[in-house]
């Protein structure tokens, strides 16, 4: 069993990622995508990762899409953060992927959160939790206990944005550049005041989202995006 004392510091996490080129850090987890030669090979990789999970007693969130396998490791018993168990599991999964002839495409793993601007998170959080069947996560977030739906976080601010709801789309820093360029080319207004941690994107009708990187965590909880 992991505990909070086992959670990797950012310095240790960066050191681990330096020797885990297939993986990225994303909101308390290690994530990647493997592209297998065929759908059958992808299933073989899933089976291999499953066997490793049973041996390690540490199970990832895993999603199969034809010849691609999406994998996320996090330590739920350490508050949904990264521990050495996750890095060890990632190493083993990478070895299994290599044996299956799969190639890493970590840039395909996108993480989406729903942000809600509010002056009082406690006043509304329970309604959202019950309606979605979610559970409380670290820092007051609401998370899908089965890891399928986007998490919800409450951006506490005395000046909520008029639309109240916005998306935070998380990319690794390595893959964020092309995304920002293509988003700007699509006609969005880009606010780079907080780059590279996040960039506020506003579309032609005033709707906003934040393109975030693994460098930071979330937009500051002091004002609307």
- pLDDT level of residue 223 (50, 70, 90 thresholds): very low
More confident residue, 99 or 174: 99
| pLDDT for position 98 | 97
**H or E segment and range at residue 129:** helix 121-132
CA–CA dist 29, 113 (Å, integer): 14
- pLDDT level of residue 5 (50, 70, 90 thresholds): low
Return the percentage of the chain with pLDDT > 90, whole number. Answer: 64
Lowest mean pLDDT among 58-62, 137-141, 178-182: 137-141
| pLDDT for position 215 | 65
Closest CA to 212 of 151, 129, 135: 151
More confident residue, 77 or 15: 15
Q: What is the pLDDT of residues 20-58, one digit of tens each?
A: 999 999 988 999 999 999 999 999 999 999 999 999 999
| Average pLDDT of the chain, as a whole number | 89
- pLDDT level of residue 88 (50, 70, 90 thresholds): very high
**Does the pLDDT at position 80 exceed 90?**
no
Q: What is the pLDDT of residues 158-213, one digit of tens each?
A: 888 777 898 999 988 888 888 899 999 999 999 999 988 899 999 888 888 999 98
Mean pLDDT confidence for 47-75: 96
Mean pLDDT confidence for 111-131: 92
Helix ranges, 6-111 (H): 10-18, 39-56, 84-99
């Amino acid at each position: 069993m992991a505990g909070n004392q086992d959670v990797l510091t950012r310095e240790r996490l960066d050191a681990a990622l330096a020797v885990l080129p297939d993986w990225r850090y994303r909101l308390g987890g290690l994530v990647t995508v493997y592209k297998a030669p065929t759908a059958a090979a992808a299933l073989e990789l899933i089976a291999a990762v499953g066997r490793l999970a049973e041996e390690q007693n540490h199970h990832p969130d895993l999603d199969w899409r034809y010849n691609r396998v999406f994998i996320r490791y996090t330590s739920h018993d350490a508050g949904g953060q990264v521990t050495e168990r996750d890095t060890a599991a990632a190493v083993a999964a990478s070895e299994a992927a290599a044996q299956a002839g799969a190639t890493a495409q970590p840039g395909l793993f996108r993480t989406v959160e729903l942000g809600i601007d509010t002056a009082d998170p406690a006043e509304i959080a329970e309604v959202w939790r019950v309606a979605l069947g979610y559970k409380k996560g670290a820092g007051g977030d609401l998370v899908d206990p089965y890891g399928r739906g986007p998490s919800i976080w409450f951006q506490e601010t005395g000046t909520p944005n008029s639309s109240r709801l916005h998306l935070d789309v998380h990319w690794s820093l390595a893959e964020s550049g092309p995304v920002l360029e293509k988003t700007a080319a699509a006609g969005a207004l880009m606010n780079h005041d907080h780059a590279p941690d996040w960039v506020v994107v506003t579309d032609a009708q005033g709707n906003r989202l934040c393109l975030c990187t693994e460098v930071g965590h979330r937009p500051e909880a002091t004002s609307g995006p």
